[in-house]
Chains A and B, each alone.
Chain A
Amino acid sequence: MQDGWARFAFAYLNPEVAAEWGPKILDGAFVTIQLGLATIAAGLALGMALAMLRASAPRWVQMAIVVFVDIFRAWPPLVVIIVLYYAFPYVDLPMGAFTATWLALSFVLASFAEEIWWAGLQAVPKGQWEAARSTGLSHFQALVWVAIPQAVRMTIPPLLNRTIAIVKGTALGSVVALPEILGQATSAMSLAGNPTPLTLAALGYLAIFLPVVILGRWIERRFAWKR
C-alpha cells in the first residue's frame, strides 16, 4: 500500500518533473486560452450572422445555411481539424496547426450556435413581430431590436453548454501538433519519461475552464427573466 502510493506519487506528482516542465505547460496554456477566445469570438459571430441571414434571406440562401450547419454538426470536430490541416495544403491553402484548429472549431461552434439561436428565433411569439412591424420597424430592425434579444436570452443555457463543450475541443489540436496544453504535456511526458506533465495539464485545464463554467452559471442566472 505504502509502496503503491509512493510509486503513484513519483509518477504523477513528481515535484522535480513538475518544476522542469511546468513552464512548457504554461506556454501551452496561453495557446489554449488564445485559441479558445478566438474560437468563441469567431464561432459566435459567424453563428449570429448565419442566424440573422437565415431569418432574412431568400429561400435558397436559407437552404445553403442549413446544409452548411448540418454538415458541421455531423462531422466530428477532429475530422474537420485533420481535413483542414492535411488536405488544404494540396489546394494551395496551407495552414498552420493553430489556424486549422481555430477554423475547424469556429465552424463547428458557429453551426451549433446558429441552430440554437434559430430555434430561439422560432420561439419568439408572432405577436412580437407584429407589434414591432405595426410601429414601422423594418423586418431587419424588428429582428435586431425585438426578436434577437429575446432569442438570445431564451437560449443562454444550451448555448453556454455547447460553447464550453466545443471550446474544450482545443485539446484536439494536439493531434496536429498544436502546442496547446495537452500537446505540450504529452511531449513533455515522453521527454521526461514521467507522466507528471499530464497532471499539470489536468490542473491547467481546470484553471482555465472551471472559471468559465462558473461564469456560465452566473450568466445563466443573471439573464434568466420571467415572461
Chain B
Amino acid sequence: MDVQSRPVLELAGLHKSFGGVDVLKGVDLAVAPGELVFLIGPSGSGKSTLLRCCNRLEEPDDGAVIVDGENILSPGCDLNRVRQKIGMVFQAFNLYPHMTALGNVALALRKVQGMAKDAAEAKARAALARVGLADKAGSYPAQLSGGQQQRVAIARALALEPKIVLFDEPTSALDPELVGSVLAVMRELKIGGMTMVVVSHELAFARDAADRVVFMDGGRIVEQGTPASVFGAPREARTRDFVARLAERG
C-alpha cells in the first residue's frame, strides 16, 4: 500500500460490550494522515468507548485497531510503545497535580523515552510554547485556568510526537470564555498537519476545521460525510434529530 494514503488509524469490526451490554457493535473507521474526524452522537452512543479502544484503555472484544500500520490488538504488540503514537486528551484534563506544567509534559519523555532531564525539559518547553504556555512551565495545575490546564494536557500529548491525537470532549469542562483558547490550539494543530479524532459538541469548530463528521448512535456509525452534508443535509432521521437538537443548544 502507498504510504501516503495509508490510514494513520484504522478500526475494523470493532466490538465492545460491558457486562453483556453491547456498546460498540462493529465499527469500521479509517482516518487518513492529516485528517480531522469529528465524532458526534447522543450520550451513551459509545464515542468515548470508541476512542478508548484505540489505545486499549478499554480492551476491545473483537475486531482490529491498526495504528500506523500495526495491529495493536495482536499479542506481540508492545502497548507502551504504540501508546506514545496515540495522544489522548481528556475532558477532565487529568493533569498530575503534584507536578508543574513542565513536569507533566516531561514525565513520559523521561520515564518512557528515557531522555535525559535537560533534553526532556527542553522538549517539554517547546511543546508548552506550541500551546502558548511558555511562561507557565513552572506553574502547578491548581494555579492554572481550566483552559490553560487543557492546553498543558495537549502539550503533554504532543511532546511525544504522536501520529494521531484523540480528543474526548476537550472543552466540555471549560467555562465558555475559555473554550476558544483550546479550540485555537486545536486549529493550529490541524493546520500543522496533525491527524485528529475529536469528540465534541462545538459545531462551529467542526464546520470550519473538520474534514469529516461521523455520527454514531447505539454503538454504530450511522452516517458520515463532510460537515456541510452531515449538518446541512443529513440523510438519516436519527442524524437529523440529533443535529437539530445540537444546533438548538448552541
Binding site for B on A (CB under 8 A): 125, 127-128, 130-138, 141, 145-146, 149-150, 153, 225-227
Q: Is B150's CB within 8 Å of the partner chain A?
A: no
Secondary structure at the A interface, as helix, strand, loop or mixed, is helix
A136–B81 CB distance below 8 A:
yes
Which chain B residue lies CB-closest to A227? Answer: B97
Q: Is B112's CB within 8 Å of the partner chain A?
A: yes
Q: How far is the CB of B80 from chain A (nearest CB, A)?
A: 5
Q: A134-B157, A137-B111, A146-B96 are in contact. List 16 more A-B contacts (CB 8 A).
A: A125-B92, A130-B94, A131-B94, A131-B96, A131-B153, A131-B156, A132-B108, A133-B83, A134-B87, A135-B156, A136-B83, A136-B113, A137-B112, A141-B112, A149-B98, A153-B98
Cα(A225)–Cα(B94), bound, Å = 16
Partner of A136 from the list B57, B80, B97, B142 (CB cut-off 8 Å) is B80
Cα(A132)–Cα(B157), bound, Å = 10
Residues 109-128 of chain B: 1 if any A CB is under 8 Å from the residue's CB, otherwise 0? 00111000000000000000
Q: Which residues in B have their C-beta under 8 angstroms from that of A132?
A: 96, 107-108
Q: Is B200's CB within 8 Å of the partner chain A?
A: no
| Contact of A225 with B112 at beta-carbon distance under 8 Å, contacts A131-B90, A137-B80 already known | no
Cα(A40)–Cα(B166), bound, Å = 46
Q: How far is the CB of A123 from chain B (nearest CB, A)?
A: 12
Most buried by A among B84, B90, B98, B107: B98
Q: Is B55's CB within 8 Å of the partner chain A?
A: yes
Binding site for A on B (CB under 8 A): 55, 57, 80-81, 83-84, 86-88, 90, 92, 94-98, 107-108, 111-113, 140, 142, 153, 156-157, 160
Q: Which residues in A have their C-beta under 8 angstroms from that of B107?
A: 132, 135, 137, 145-146
B97–A225 CB distance below 8 A:
yes
Cα(A216)–Cα(B28), bound, Å = 57
A130–B57 CB distance below 8 A:
yes
Q: Which residues in B have their C-beta under 8 angstroms from that of A130?
A: 57, 88, 90, 94
Q: How far is the CB of B137 from chain A (nearest CB, A)?
A: 18
B95–A136 CB distance below 8 A:
no
Cα(A125)–Cα(B80), bound, Å = 21
| Contact of A134 with B83 at beta-carbon distance under 8 Å, contacts A145-B107, A225-B142 already known | yes
Q: Which residues in B have their C-beta under 8 angstroms from that of A128?
A: 94, 96
A226–B112 CB distance below 8 A:
no
| Contact of A136 with B94 at beta-carbon distance under 8 Å, contacts A130-B57, A226-B142, A227-B142 already known | no
Q: Which residues in B have their C-beta under 8 angstroms from that of A227?
A: 97, 142
B97–A133 CB distance below 8 A:
no
A134–B86 CB distance below 8 A:
yes
Q: Which residues in A have their C-beta under 8 angstroms from that of B98?
A: 149-150, 153, 225
Q: How far is the CB of A145 from chain B (nearest CB, A)?
A: 6
Q: How far is the CB of A196 from chain B (nearest CB, A)?
A: 50
Most buried by B among A128, A131, A135, A145: A135
Partner of B55 from the list A134, A137, A149, A150 (CB cut-off 8 Å) is A134
Which chain A residue lies CB-closest to B141? Answer: A227
Which chain A residue lies CB-closest to B156? Answer: A135
B96–A136 CB distance below 8 A:
no
Q: Which residues in B have their C-beta under 8 angstroms from that of A141?
A: 111-112
Q: Which residues in B have their C-beta under 8 angstroms from that of A127?
A: 90, 92, 94
